[in-house]
Chains A and B, each alone.
Chain A
């Protein structure tokens, strides 16, 4: 792929829910963001800041009101959800969301694997594929490789997230979206999943966006951190400034930005 073209380019993206009603809510306000191939960007921000809406717009769950999204140079702004899913892997916060509970581990993986590889009537699972999946799971050291024929519904949250992560990356996507994918797990498991995530992203040079509420994790992971508030990107940290940033510093920056906004609100109201 041409290295001159950014892997993900979001330009002036806006989305308002319930326009013209009392419930009008500006979820995204003129968001512009560009990721080069291999960039790993973490996103922080309070609830309702627009982080998940941004992901939903990228995936096509909602169509934006204005702006464009380009993936590897191709305009995907209005492409149907299932068509862009071929190139975008997404792991949700809820471990229940990413896998089919009534199907076995290998069937789930086969589903993710064959979507890029075979015609509709090709057998979804062959011995060769099963061996490949076993091998891929074995490296996570979670013992899942010995439970290939277990239904995913019987696994723990952490185990399901590992399966989901592997499903998203078994056919390398152009873009990996992680939506607080460790938030529902206990601390030890969360750390383990984060480790696995880092390994996969680094080894495959994956372009990745990760939403997190854990500021420490946001600063420690990846190469850039952006902060969203009320639908806009209000802060972007990288390089040295990011390295030197502390959690206290980040909190301070956040409150300052909030105050600024509050001040303008007050001016508006007093007029």
Chain B
């Protein structure tokens, strides 16, 4: 059952992974707004749900993320701030805003949490395990729905323009596409999904918390990279956005599974749960180092053989 929970969390954080994938791989922009927009969605969803609008809270969270992405996008394009700095500026600003939205460091949603409402449908006598399975199914439906929407979107004219912007901005500038506009729209979508992920997590745990967003950026990166490593069996020429979106979510699920396994098996003793972020950083670092290591090994082999001849 632990792994069913991991699956559910994997899907919920999968939207975060999709968001990071869109900015990192499709737009080719290092966007550091992530932790800010995740927290913004998280806080806005909780605040709206507490007021008695649990379903609407998802929509508001999405819009909050879009606004965050829009801010970063305007800073980057029209105001020509370096992309990394633009993201950091928005993220820092959002930290204070999130505290204000929550009226403090944390805010409990209570009975208005969407997952609680969904479990109620199962009836009074549903077992804990039934609820967990239902939660996982609900998360899967939401996540797969978003994936399908995104796949369709990237096949439209606008979606194609956004992909081209990340692929070759020179070419896009010389064609009739407004690069600033496509970048801003791309960042809005990316951060909107990240905020939606934050909102779902708030409903899942039942509260919004200032610490809920810390580590989400590295989590998103890890999910994207693990997914790519998994799908690297596909030939490079065939890998497109569709596969990328699916692989990001798979990466998210696998990462959650690894975490569950490490904690469950107490791989690192009592400290297992505390070491998660370090583990995450190490996984990302190793995956990023591999190409350079391969090169070094190849050069080394080459040299040795050249000397021998």
Chain A residues with CB under 8 A of B159? 124
Contact B237 A112 (CB under 8 A): no
Q: Mark A107-118, 1 if CB is under 8 A from B, else 0.
A: 110111011101
Contact B175 A111 (CB under 8 A): yes
Judge if B158 is at the interface, Cβ distance under 8 Å.
yes
Q: How far is the CA of A114 from the CA of B170 in the complex (A)?
A: 19
Q: Given A100-B168, A103-B167, are A82 and B156 also a contact pair (CB < 8 Å)?
A: no
Judge if B24 is at the interface, Cβ distance under 8 Å.
no
Q: How far is the CA of A83 from the CA of B240 in the complex (A)?
A: 29
Contact B173 A82 (CB under 8 A): yes
Judge if B174 is at the interface, Cβ distance under 8 Å.
yes
Question: Interface size on A (CB < 8 Å)?
Answer: 38
Chain B residues with CB under 8 A of A114? 157, 160
CB proximity of A70 to chain B, nearest CB, Å: 19
Contact A107 B160 (CB under 8 A): yes
Contact A101 B179 (CB under 8 A): no
Which of B158, B166, B168, B170 has the most CB atoms of chain A within a 10 A radius of its CB? B168
Q: Enumerate A90-143 residues with CB–CB distance to B below 8 Å.
A: 90, 92, 96-104, 107-108, 110-112, 114-116, 118-125
Q: Mark B227-258, 1 if CB is under 8 A from A, else 0.
A: 00000000001001000000000000000000
Contact A85 B155 (CB under 8 A): no
Contact B167 A85 (CB under 8 A): no
CB proximity of A130 to chain B, nearest CB, Å: 12
Q: Given A99-B168, A100-B164, are A85 and B156 also a contact pair (CB < 8 Å)?
A: no
Partner of B175, one of A85, A96, A154: A85
Q: Which residues of B contact A (CB under 8 A)?
A: 155-161, 163-164, 166-168, 170-179, 237, 240
Q: Which residues of A contact B (CB under 8 A)?
A: 59, 80-83, 85-86, 90, 92, 96-104, 107-108, 110-112, 114-116, 118-125, 150-151, 154, 167
